Structure 1
Amino acid sequence: MAAIFLAVRRVPLWPVLATLLVLSGCALPPLADRPDSRSFPQSQTRETVLGQAITPKTDAHPGLSGIILLPDPYDAFAARALLAEAAEASLDVQYYIWRPDTTGTLMLYTLYRAAERGVRIRLLLDDNGIVGMDDILAALSQHPNIEIRLFNPFVVRNPKWLGYLTDFRRLNYRMHNKSLTADNQVTIIGGRNIADEYFGAAGGGLFADLDVLAIGPAVDDISRDFDRYWASNASWPARQILGEPEPGPDPLAELAELLKVSENSIASSVYARTLEDSAFLRKLLIGELTFSWAPVVMVSDDPAKVLGRNGNEDLLSQQLARALEDPERSITLVSPYFIPGDAGVELFRTLEERGIEVRVLTNSLEANDVAMVHASYSKYRKPLLRAGVELWEMRRLDDEAPKEQDLQTGMMGISVSSLHAKTFAVDGEILFVGSFNFDPRSIHLNTELGFVIKSPELARTLEREFDEQVRSSAYQVVLGEDGELRWLERQEHRTVTYSHEPGTGPLKRIMVFFWSLMPIESLL
């Protein structure tokens, strides 16, 4: 027996663990008994409070969607929470990241209260972005008006990352979409997930992050797309994955009390005041909100992308190419993670040779929260500059949010000082806003969602904000006379020139150089 014990001790742990995971049958349960549901037609929700407020406006603008940009983080939070409070028929909610922090807990309590009023809640979450949420979601899923599904879920729950050992090919594909739709009358899409750092980042104006609120035909498009994801073979009922809550007192009642206590906590006071002070819902209901009316094309990856069953023509990147007219004058592009690849560099070179101005804003190393992404992007800076692209890197934004918020710094998402908006304008005529980053992961691995908005008013808003803000909040990257990179920081009365990545130490720069040598670009 001692000999056997000693032999076992000599066996490497990870191969044994991986084998045990495979042999234990870590397979997803069958989907045969999954209930079916669809979004309510807009004609059925016209008599809701939201429907009565919105229908006269949409009837007056047939074929067009009403759009409001939401660059301010507090407005973006208030809009979501107040729409959930106003809903009477349904809330369809789809997110990549949802954290059990202040804003995440407040939003969960808002959904719970809506369910208590009889509103049907469908909550679709990517399973990679809900760390620490299993018990909460298991309890919420007990509510008769709340159904939760997990997209491309992990079977091993703790620690989740063990799943990558046996199923990396599947689990490397994630749902990056973000939307909240109330009564199929109003929707919010864009770059923000549900977590404190997305609703508390100060400074950076339009570029810290960006969502759009929409009414009209674009809402119906989002609802149909939500139905497609909800019914996909990658969406699993949370009960099948998370199991039942621990036995004991009513888990739903305990959760409701916990959420209520959280709502009244000191940490929630800033957001509670935001809701109290917001005039958003009142203005919406009495028709005082000012919308920009425009044709809107929704672009979205087929959820089958994560199963490897869709062709290139179904990719959002291809839909974007079809939806955009050939640029004639300019492209202004904002992307926190920007890895153009050789093909992207060649495209920009061709555009510049045709006399089309290309301007790009992305994160600097000091602001980027994913060093590996920056390492891959850094290889393309010189080729981009030689091609004629005007390149800017956002400086680390000051965190001016009130201290009582105790905001997190973004282990899985953005830091409060990062650029996170995903948007671009073409010729001052067309604006894109969505979840799509210009990197290989958004193109090939993650599913994405966005709006192509044919609105000179909104496109020129982006260009104007770029002109006004970028010089004061970003470094311009240029080539020096020696062909090496320089970073220009324009201060009030002078321009400071850096010969290496500003705001970083040698250790971080060495780490980025190391990552740039690794063949990992296709995974980023």
Structure 2
Amino acid sequence: MRARRTVAALAATGSILATLWALRAFNRLPPRELDEDAFPPRHDSVSPLRTAAEDAAKGHDGHSGIHLLADANDAFAARILLARQAKRHLDLQYYIWHGDRTGTLLLEEVHSAAERGVQVRLLLDDNGISGLDTILSALDRHPNIEVRLFNPFRIRFPKAAGFALDFGRLNRRMHNKSFIVDDAATIVGGRNIGDEYFGAGDGGLFADLDALAIGPVVASVIADFDRYWDCSSSYPASQILPLVSEAQRRKLTRRASLVEKDPSARQFVERITSLPIVQSLLEGTLELTWAEVELISDDPAKACGDVDSDGLLATQLLETLGNPTREMFVVAGYFVPGDTVTRSLCDMASSGVAVSVLTNSFAATDVKLVHAGYAQTRKELLQSGVRLFEMYGTTHASTSRKERRRGSRLGIGSTLRGSGTGSTAALRSHASTLHAKTFSVDGERLFIGSFNLDPRSIELNTELGFVIHSPDLAKQVGSVFERLAPAAAYELRLQEDGRLSWVERHDDEEIVHTEEPNMTLGDHLMIGVAQRLPIQWLL
């Protein structure tokens, strides 16, 4: 009997090992097969948008024109209107693209552009497109659309299985966000594509921030898009996604029509028709700040773990922003400074630099483990003189979850979203949650992009952003910080006994919390355990 059980156990073990081997073999990526004739060679071509951008740039000494998109509705409308204006090329690069209201409407604009002859390149990180395999495969079959997936999963559902089989590769993602139209205008910043990134119009700068740019920096964004498009981690969708009929594209058009007619989406549609931003750009009347603008980004080889420090955005950011001598403002939705960055910020503050940081409170963040990585640095930062502000949490989470489910039903995506795709992003649909990534130095230089001050942005994900040498914009961000941070966030202080307190302000009244707001005993236990685990490099 014992022998039989031993044989059965060995057989079961062998079966499990064989299954794991088969899954690992299936999960391996195939050799890339590129269709070199997918699009004809790209030549300079004239379009009204390009002509307007070139005319506007004349007389500005090689500087680029920047228009900040702080309002969430405006940021969505600008993308739609620019896509409608496209005559030659659309190049879009994103970490997350949801199949909800805004994601559906923008995909339909991409499809409509292709229908009128625009060449579209769509580069998406494969971790952020859950539920879109069918429609992306259908779009990829359009003669004017090519879709590539960055660092793709072979197992399409559930994608989490891929992490179990090849965690080292799949844990590295493309976090870049760029939107390029007719080689003439671009939008770079912190927003992905989805309702939670465009639904909050009352939080402005502290919800999220993009920069619309024209001028010389656009060529840099195009070149950077090209090197990601051509890198070994970007696979043609036709090699990864199941083949579907072209008739699937009609589903997109039908769904987009339903979204436009739905009362809950009316604010988006009305904003599209009323915003004059693109027309003002064409007419030369759009308010632009002209400045030296540098694009900085990670080498796409970072996704393979094969890049030296010179190829990292973090290194370039230090070089281009320089050492602050007077003040530094940090706005980061995910702030996990770690030992090195914490020491650097403490040294700045101790030397007399006014360092201020705005991040999410525990109640506001949508990734609770990130709070564990940040919380253990607070006392050290405060002791050195760094000012810390934590965004108030939303009180409407249940309502926003209902709205998100409604948005998914209206759109062409799935309500089942993969890890890291904002599946708990209901919190982000309110301005009381922070997603922006902005740094201002000495009232002279400003960074806007996808880079968070956390280990994941520094070591694992690829990132992209602008360093803008503009006292006007840098001071504007500093002024907004000083005016709004105390009204929108708790200010942290150290009590005489060394414990933390959270100061909440309403008009002239201060409410001092001596316990961390909106945290239960279970939350405290979870954070305490997480702080003792060696997971900070993952956050």
TM range (shorter): over 0.9
* Partner SS, residue 25 of structure 1: helix
* Partner SS, residue 482 of structure 2: helix
CA distance in structure 2 between the aligned counterparts of 1:403 and 1:415, rounded to whole angstroms: 9
Q: Report if the CA contact (8 A) 1:192-1:198 is conserved.
A: yes
CA distance in structure 1 between the aligned counterparts of 2:360 and 2:132, rounded to whole angstroms: 30
Q: Report if the CA contact (8 A) 2:125-2:151 is conserved.
A: yes
CA distance in structure 1 between the aligned counterparts of 2:217 and 2:110, rounded to whole angstroms: 23
> Identity of aligned pairs, percent?
45
CA distance in structure 2 between the aligned counterparts of 1:17 and 1:468, rounded to whole angstroms: 59
Partner of 2:536: 521
- Summarize the Cα distance change of 1:486–1:36 in structure 2 as closer, same or farther, 3 Å threshold: farther
Partner of 2:389: 392
User: Which of 480, 489, 499 is the aligned partner of 2:504?
Assistant: 489
> Which consecutive unaligned segments of at least 5 residues does structure 2 have?
408-421
Q: Deviations along 1:20-69, whole A, 9 cap, x unmatched?
A: 302x433212214343789997x823x31101222111122131000011
Partner of 2:57: 58
CA distance in structure 2 between the aligned counterparts of 1:167 and 1:110, rounded to whole angstroms: 35
Partner of 1:416: 429
Q: What is the deviation of 1:80?
A: 0.4
Q: Report if the CA contact (8 A) 2:363-2:394 is conserved.
A: no
Q: Report if the CA contact (8 A) 2:64-2:290 is conserved.
A: yes
- Summarize the Cα distance change of 1:412–1:144 in structure 2 as closer, same or farther, 3 Å threshold: farther
Q: Report if the CA contact (8 A) 2:362-2:519 is conserved.
A: yes
Partner of 2:380: 383
Q: What is the deviation of 1:4?
A: 11
CA distance in structure 2 between the aligned counterparts of 1:155 and 1:338, rounded to whole angstroms: 32
Q: What is the deviation of 1:399?
A: 6.0
CA distance in structure 1 between the aligned counterparts of 2:19 and 2:451, rounded to whole angstroms: 36
* Paired AA for residue 406 in structure 1: E
Partner of 2:472: 457
- Summarize the Cα distance change of 1:405–1:468 in structure 2 as closer, same or farther, 3 Å threshold: farther
Question: Is 2:207 the partner of 1:205?
Answer: no
* Partner SS, residue 428 of structure 2: coil
Q: Report if the CA contact (8 A) 2:95-2:128 is conserved.
A: yes
Q: What is the deviation of 1:142?
A: 1.0
CA distance in structure 1 between the aligned counterparts of 2:38 and 2:475, rounded to whole angstroms: 40
> Which consecutive unaligned segments of at least 5 residues does structure 1 have?
none
* Paired AA for residue 241 in structure 2: L
User: Which of 316, 339, 343 is the aligned partner of 1:342?
Assistant: 339
Partner of 1:309: 306
Partner of 2:92: 93
CA distance in structure 1 between the aligned counterparts of 2:67 and 2:378, rounded to whole angstroms: 34
- Summarize the Cα distance change of 1:28–1:251 in structure 2 as closer, same or farther, 3 Å threshold: same
User: What's the TM-score once normalised by structure 2's chain length?
Assistant: 0.91
Partner of 1:237: 236
CA distance in structure 2 between the aligned counterparts of 1:349 and 1:269, rounded to whole angstroms: 47
Partner of 1:19: 21
Q: Report if the CA contact (8 A) 2:73-2:201 is conserved.
A: no
Partner of 1:374: 371
Tell me whether 60-69 or 8-17 shows the greater mean CA deviation.
8-17
CA distance in structure 1 between the aligned counterparts of 2:484 and 2:248, rounded to whole angstroms: 49
CA distance in structure 2 between the aligned counterparts of 1:180 and 1:102, rounded to whole angstroms: 19
Partner of 2:411: none
- Summarize the Cα distance change of 1:34–1:165 in structure 2 as closer, same or farther, 3 Å threshold: farther
User: What's the TM-score once normalised by structure 1's chain length?
Assistant: 0.93
- Summarize the Cα distance change of 1:180–1:456 in structure 2 as closer, same or farther, 3 Å threshold: same
Tell me whether 196-205 or 171-180 shows the greater mean CA deviation.
196-205
Q: Deviations along 1:215-249, whole A, 9 cap, x unmatched?
A: 0011111000000000000000001100311x6x8
* Paired AA for residue 26 in structure 1: N
Tell me whether 12-21 or 113-122 shows the greater mean CA deviation.
12-21
Q: Deviations along 1:86-118, whole A, 9 cap, x unmatched?
A: 000000000000010000000000000000010
Q: What is the deviation of 1:494?
A: 1.9
Structural mapping, 1:273-292, within 5 Å: 273-292=270-289
Q: What is the deviation of 1:490?
A: 1.5
Partner of 1:33: 34
Structural mapping, 1:75-474, within 5 Å: 75-245=74-244, 250-397=247-394, 406-407=403-404, 410-411=422-423, 413=425, 415-417=428-430, 418-474=433-489
* Paired AA for residue 77 in structure 1: F
Aligned residues: 517
CA distance in structure 1 between the aligned counterparts of 2:366 and 2:11, rounded to whole angstroms: 39
CA distance in structure 2 between the aligned counterparts of 1:189 and 1:445, rounded to whole angstroms: 20
Tell me whether 195-204 or 409-418 shows the greater mean CA deviation.
409-418
Partner of 2:415: none
Partner of 1:44: 44
CA distance in structure 2 between the aligned counterparts of 1:519 and 1:403, rounded to whole angstroms: 33
- Summarize the Cα distance change of 1:36–1:130 in structure 2 as closer, same or farther, 3 Å threshold: same
CA distance in structure 2 between the aligned counterparts of 1:200 and 1:5, rounded to whole angstroms: 60
Tell me whether 202-211 or 86-95 shows the greater mean CA deviation.
202-211
CA distance in structure 2 between the aligned counterparts of 1:397 and 1:468, rounded to whole angstroms: 20
* Partner SS, residue 296 of structure 1: strand
Tell me whether 252-261 or 342-351 shows the greater mean CA deviation.
252-261
CA distance in structure 2 between the aligned counterparts of 1:175 and 1:326, rounded to whole angstroms: 28
Q: What is the deviation of 1:512?
A: 1.6
Q: Deviations along 1:195-223, whole A, 9 cap, x unmatched?
A: 00000024333111000000001111100
* Partner SS, residue 503 of structure 2: strand
Partner of 1:69: 68
Q: What is the deviation of 1:11?
A: 5.4
